[in-house]
Structure 1
Amino acid sequence: MELKNKIAIVTGCSRGIGFELVNQLLDKGMKVAGWSRTDPNISDDNFFFVKTDVSDATSVNNAFLETTTKFKEKVSILVNNAGMGHHGTMLEMPFDKWKEMFDINVHGIYFCSNAVVPGMKEMDEGHIVNVGSIAGLNPVKGMVGYAGSKHAVTGISHSMFMELREFGIKVTCIYPGSVKTNFFDKIDAVEANDNMMRPEDVASSIVFCLETHENFLPVDFEVRPLRPKGK
């Protein structure tokens, strides 16, 4: 897809992969709506921040209305990047933390995607990228709730691509390994470090998928640090 002058929504835009992706899309000449709970303070005429809780359907619908009113065009790209995780075994995990992960990581994709798909169908063009995780492919001891939510993202993404491809809409799921972001701030068992991937490299992988030829569909894209334990 040619990105220049088209509209993108990036959720979880305040830091990490989402923040880097917004800046890379702006560099490509896109108009970008950033949806998150926290303002990333990006100063660019083509950037529009909307305070959004992706786990809440009303918040998402209001954000979509604000976005389309601002840009007055249909959305070509949605990157479902918002996500979070809690560490803990099944027995240790309080239900409110379990539910929070599924509300944001899973229900957020449902709410945001349902907002943009009708317009993409009308255009016969669109691309939705769901940011999954290696934990959505492999079991992770001590991360049962997070792994479960990301396995759901994998299944949702695969079914979405099969449902939407005939309407000219691509759906890609990217599976990052460990990334040096604030994700690990609430996880005592792991500390962010320089052996993890840089968020800007994961963001550039998403841009690569978005710029692919109209008849080329990247379904799954797994990215990992080369030396996760260092030299």
Structure 2
Amino acid sequence: MDLQGKIAVVTGVSKGIGLSTVEALLEKGAIVAGWGRTKPALEHQDFHFFECDVRYPDSVQNAFDQTLSRLGVHIAVLVNNAGLGIAGKLDEQSIDDWQTMFETNVNGVFYCTRLVLPEMKEQGEGHIINISSIAGTTGIEEMSGYCGSKHAVRGISQSLYKEVRNYGIKVTCIYPGSVNTNFFDNFENITSRENMMRPEDIASTIVHALESHPNYHHVDIEVRPLMPKGRIQK
């Protein structure tokens, strides 16, 4: 896809992967609608922020309606990036924390995607990027809620691409390992953040997938830091 002049929606844009993705898309000439709870410190003539909490369908609908009103109806790209993780043993995790993860990480993908698909089908073009996690491919102790939500993103993505591929729409699911973002701010015993990937690394992968040939489809992309524990000392 040639991103020049295309309308792209990115969720969770206040910082981290979302903000880096917005910046990368702007560099490619896209017009970007950022949906999030907090406006990022970014000023650009082609960046438009719309307040949105993806946990709530009414909030998503409002952001979608405002986006169409201001930017136009032909949304070509959706990056479902908004997400969060809360650690805890399953029998000790609060119901509120469990529901917050699933409402954000899973329901948010549904609420956003269902709105952009009809026009993508009509145009015969579109690309949906879902940000899952390595946690969506395995189990991690004391992260059952987060892993469960990211496994759900994987299942949604793999089902959806089969539904929409013959309309010319791509669905790509990305599974990052550790990325140096605020995701880890509330986790104890995180000591090697300098060895994590950078948000801009994930953004570059997103752009690479978006710019691929129309008949070339990245379905699943797993990315990890090369040396998560640092270089071996000789």
TM-score, L = length of structure 2: 0.97
SS of the residue 2:34 aligns to: strand
- The residue type paired with residue 140 of structure 1 is I
CA distance in 1, matches of 2:225, 2:19: 20
Rate the CA distance shift 1:123–1:186 in 2: closer, same or farther, 3 A: same
1:63-82 counterparts in 2 under 5 A?
63-82=63-82
CA distance in 2, matches of 1:188, 1:86: 12
Corresponding residue number in structure 2 for 1:148: 148
Segments of 5+ residues of structure 1 without an aligned counterpart are: none
CA distance in 2, matches of 1:216, 1:17: 24
Corresponding residue number in structure 2 for 1:12: 12
Q: Is the 8 A contact 1:181 1:192 kept in 2?
A: no
1:196-211 counterparts in 2 under 5 A?
196-211=196-211
* CA-to-aligned-CA distance 1:131-176 (integer Å, 9 cap, x gap): 0000000111110000000000000000010001011110000000
Corresponding residue number in structure 2 for 1:172: 172
Rate the CA distance shift 1:137–1:182 in 2: closer, same or farther, 3 A: same
Corresponding residue number in structure 2 for 1:42: 42
Q: Is the 8 A contact 1:184 1:191 kept in 2?
A: no
1:1-231 counterparts in 2 under 5 A?
1-191=1-191, 193-231=193-231
Rate the CA distance shift 1:219–1:153 in 2: closer, same or farther, 3 A: same
* CA-to-aligned-CA distance 1:21-77 (integer Å, 9 cap, x gap): 100100100000000000003111100000100010000001000001111231000
SS of the residue 1:22 aligns to: helix
CA distance in 1, matches of 2:128, 2:73: 17
CA distance in 1, matches of 2:191, 2:95: 24
CA distance in 1, matches of 2:54, 2:158: 21
- The residue type paired with residue 66 of structure 1 is Q
102-111 or 68-77, larger mean C-alpha shift: 68-77
Q: Which runs of 4+ in 1 moved over 4 A?
A: none
Tell me the matched-pair count.
Answer: 231
Q: Is the 8 A contact 1:184 1:192 kept in 2?
A: no
CA distance in 1, matches of 2:9, 2:116: 9
* Pairwise CA distance, 1:192: 6.2
Q: Is the 8 A contact 2:132 2:154 kept in 1?
A: yes
CA distance in 2, matches of 1:72, 1:175: 31
Segments of 5+ residues of structure 2 without an aligned counterpart are: none
* Pairwise CA distance, 1:190: 2.9
* Pairwise CA distance, 1:205: 0.4
CA distance in 2, matches of 1:154, 1:51: 26
Q: Is the 8 A contact 2:73 2:119 kept in 1?
A: no
Alignment root-mean-square deviation, CA: 0.9
- The residue type paired with residue 144 of structure 2 is V
* Pairwise CA distance, 1:93: 0.6
* Pairwise CA distance, 1:189: 4.2
Rate the CA distance shift 1:104–1:191 in 2: closer, same or farther, 3 A: farther
Fraction of identical pairs, as percent: 53
CA distance in 2, matches of 1:39, 1:57: 20
SS of the residue 1:186 aligns to: coil
